[in-house]
A and B are shown apart, each in its own frame.
Chain A
Amino acid sequence: MLGLNSRDFKLFIVVCLMALAAPILLNPFPTASALGESFNAGYPALMQRFVIFGILVIGFNILFGLTGYLSFGHAAFLGVGSYAAVWMFKLLSYNVVPAIILSVIVAGLFAVVIGYVSLRRSGIYFSILTLAFAQMSYQLAYSVFTPLTNGETGLQVYNDDPQILMGANSPTSPHFFGLEMNSQYTLDISGWSFVFQNGYYLSAIFLILGFYLSIRIFRSPTGLMLRAIKSNQTRMSYTGINTKPYMLAAFVISGMYAGLAGGLLAAMDPLTGAERMFWTASGEIVVMAILGGVGTLIGPVLGAGIIKYLENIVSKINDSILHQWFAFMPDWLEGVLVTIIHPFIGKGWHLTLGLLFMAVVIFLPGGLVQGGQKIGGLFRRKKTDDAADGAKTPAE
């Protein structure tokens, strides 16, 4: 259906349902309870980040997963997309449609230039070239391009901006033809409160579209060509195929995904700064892709979701919460445990992230998806007759 085979279609439907029902699915615990305060993720600001970074990493995966070219400068496209979107808000109006369109186009153009140069080299050289370009963009955004980027203050919309399409009654925050992004509907059901926000749903729709497109690309002849480049580029050249246009196409598409993510970030919160382009941001994208599973369809979405979720929870936990958790233990053991865990929580989130990342690269190079498949494989070997098990493991 929709040009997908049945397996992919199932996966696609699952992603659609997850994305659309996220406000309910991510609120498993009653809102006011202690568990709910620590572990619920069903509030708009966080869910937006899940889907937006999901889009970003899906795009990154089209490049790295299919062709094996590791870009260490992907955050540059995200930053450029955000700047483009905020400029649309400043010049036209708060309508998100022109903003998102422009952010995709600008990021795409940017990717054509960077890709054309970087793709002349491969392997580590490619990584370093993209890193160099991203760092250059970051430095320029802080220095020469201050009129465009507003330097360290960050770009935002001011009252005296032209906003020529702004009518008298137009909303004063990003909106989709009048539907304000930050307006939300709260549904209270006996202790649970589910928040449905316009902005989240706009991003979720883009995630679904982006995911669909990525399945189509993975299954297309072009996708096959890109995989062939990954396995043996020299041989591709010997068979008389010019691989460069395919590579550039993959690079630009993945840059446009990043631009879309940047535009959406700006649409959720109309301000941006150069730190979005810093190379640690690029590193985070790589981490997400690796953690989920590079070269798989669902991996990037999983990786982005897990990283953002863990970031949120781990940074929220502090010593007093730990003491609550371990209250049932003897005092000395509790003290020891809290001391051991202390460096990893709160501000220590990046330490946890680094360790997690290393563990995944060392033990599970295929990411969590591969881990899921391994576990699934164990089950299947144990009870071969239980065919239903296979459906639980992700398709790829």
Chain B
Amino acid sequence: MDAFILQILNGLDKGSAYALIALGLTLIFGTLGVVNFAHGALFMIGAFCAVTLQKIFGISFQTIDDTQTDFLGNPLKVDTPYIEAWFGPEMGMAIQDWSVPLAILLVIPVMFFLGWVMERGLIKHFYSRPHADQILVTFGLAIVVGELIKAFYGANPIQTPAPDMFLGTVDVGAWLGMDSGAVAYPKWRMVYFAFSLVTIGAVFAFLQFTTFGMVVRAGMADRETVGLLGIDIDKRFTFMFGLAAAVAGMAGVMYTPILSPHYNIGMDFLVLSFVVVVVGGMGSLPGAVLAGFMLGILQSFASMNEVKAVIPGIDQIIIYLVAIIILLTRPRGLMGRKGVMEE
């Protein structure tokens, strides 16, 4: 039983990331009808915003401390981050410690802007072109972004730890009345899961309960009619692209303590997220979220030793296998709508 719960929990954080990226992909696809192969790159840019902020907080100046000497007997040089000089040592340390959550504040405007620029500057010109061209140009963009990141930050993963408060584990087993220590779950993954639920909830609430969201939903259902009613639907769809980029960016920022970001992280997630979108059903937001969590959990179950003993290698391929089975038995995916991408 405890192993069972542990696997579900393990699947949740990965599933959260899949769900968030797939949600953005579906938003873009549902509104603009574009297959965005660069969405993984947006996730990665988000992750590297966290890295950048951490580096900025670390910028320091040198002073010579005459009271201390280093091992050669020279006066000791002390590096003081500017942030500590300005806000005092305690506050400065705290800010550095919290750089990952603080990066959320940075990433929302940055990603929103990038998404807006990307849509207006590049994607806009591809609406009338075949889907293959959209895939190809965004694929090219993904290569370029990945390589730029590599050029600036190097090819090695960069550690971005979570705040000290969230290090260590939560004893989930004890909450459920089991032996303490039976099910221990890292705190930050718990945070990530909660964060993703909040974000997903916020996106759905935005679409469901605001006038803006209502118009967007109407546009997703019938773009032409909404346009004929005198509403500038293009502008709203551009906003949705920015929103999707911001969601991907936030997912990236929060994921950095779980997996140190490197220049290929976007591609790794993209391939899986596409599979998630297809399983959930192209253009269905609840489908994307559901499939994201489902596949994350399935993947973590498949990596249990008991399962691997029966079917070796299943943990590596389970997601693809599920995708193939779903596509062949339920071609529209779990919750796909009729008439989406069926030409």
B partners with A: yes
Residue ID in chain B nearest A127 by CB atoms: B135
**A121 in contact with B327 (CB, 8 Å):** yes
**B148 at the A interface (CB under 8 A):** yes
Contact A354:B140 (CB < 8 A) given known A70-B132, A128-B323, A135-B320: yes
Chain A residues, CB < 8 A from B147: 348, 350-351, 354
Chain A residues, CB < 8 A from B297: none
**Shortest Cβ gap from A161 to chain B (Å):** 25
**A357 in contact with B143 (CB, 8 Å):** yes
**B317 in contact with A136 (CB, 8 Å):** yes
**Chain A stretch 259-274: residues in CB contact (< 8 A) with chain B:** none
**B304 at the A interface (CB under 8 A):** no
**Shortest Cβ gap from A377 to chain B (Å):** 22
**B136 in contact with A286 (CB, 8 Å):** yes
Q: How far is the CA of A122 from the CA of B274 in the complex (A)?
A: 15
**A128 in contact with B316 (CB, 8 Å):** no
**Shortest Cβ gap from A148 to chain B (Å):** 12
Contact A365:B129 (CB < 8 A) given known A283-B139, A348-B147, A354-B140: yes
**A353 at the B interface (CB under 8 A):** yes
Chain A residues, CB < 8 A from B317: 136, 139-140
Q: How far is the CA of A297 from the CA of B140 in the complex (A)?
A: 24
Chain A residues, CB < 8 A from B341: 123-125
**Chain A stretch 112-132: residues in CB contact (< 8 A) with chain B:** 117, 120-125, 127-129, 131-132
Chain B residues, CB < 8 A from A286: 136, 139
**Shortest Cβ gap from B130 to chain A (Å):** 8
Chain B positions 299 through 343: 1 when the CB is less than 8 Å from some CB of chain A, otherwise 0: 000000000000011001100110110011001000000000111
Residue ID in chain B nearest A287 by CB atoms: B140
Chain B residues, CB < 8 A from A280: 267
Contact A290:B135 (CB < 8 A) given known A123-B341, A350-B143: no
**A358 in contact with B135 (CB, 8 Å):** no
Contact A129:B129 (CB < 8 A) given known A143-B316, A343-B151: no
**B141 in contact with A144 (CB, 8 Å):** no
**A142 at the B interface (CB under 8 A):** yes
**B323 in contact with A132 (CB, 8 Å):** yes
Chain A residues, CB < 8 A from B141: 354, 358
**What's the tally of chain A residues with a CB closer than 8 Å to chain B?**
41
Chain B residues, CB < 8 A from A32: none
**A136 in contact with B320 (CB, 8 Å):** yes
**B328 in contact with A125 (CB, 8 Å):** no
Chain A residues, CB < 8 A from B136: 286, 290, 357, 361
**B35 at the A interface (CB under 8 A):** yes
Q: Which of A287, A361, A365 has the most CB of B within 10 A?
A: A361
Chain B residues, CB < 8 A from A142: 316
Q: How far is the CA of A100 from the CA of B88 in the complex (A)?
A: 71
**A124 in contact with B271 (CB, 8 Å):** no
Chain B positions 156 through 189: 1 when the CB is less than 8 Å from some CB of chain A, otherwise 0: 0000000000000000000000000000000000
**B278 at the A interface (CB under 8 A):** yes
Report B's interface with A, CB cutoff 8 A.
Answer: 35, 122, 125, 129-133, 135-137, 139-144, 146-148, 151, 267, 271, 274-275, 278, 282, 312-313, 316-317, 320-321, 323-324, 327-328, 331, 341-343
13 example contacts (A-B, Cβ-Cβ < 8 A) are as follows A117-B324, A125-B341, A132-B275, A133-B324, A135-B271, A135-B320, A140-B317, A280-B267, A343-B148, A350-B143, A353-B143, A355-B144, A362-B125
Report A's interface with B, CB cutoff 8 A.
Answer: 68, 70, 117, 120-125, 127-129, 131-133, 135-136, 139-140, 142-145, 279-280, 283, 286-287, 290, 343, 348, 350-351, 353-355, 357-358, 361-362, 365
Sample of 8 more A-B contacts, CB < 8 Å, known A123-B131, A357-B136: A124-B282, A125-B327, A351-B151, A354-B141, A354-B144, A355-B140, A357-B139, A362-B125
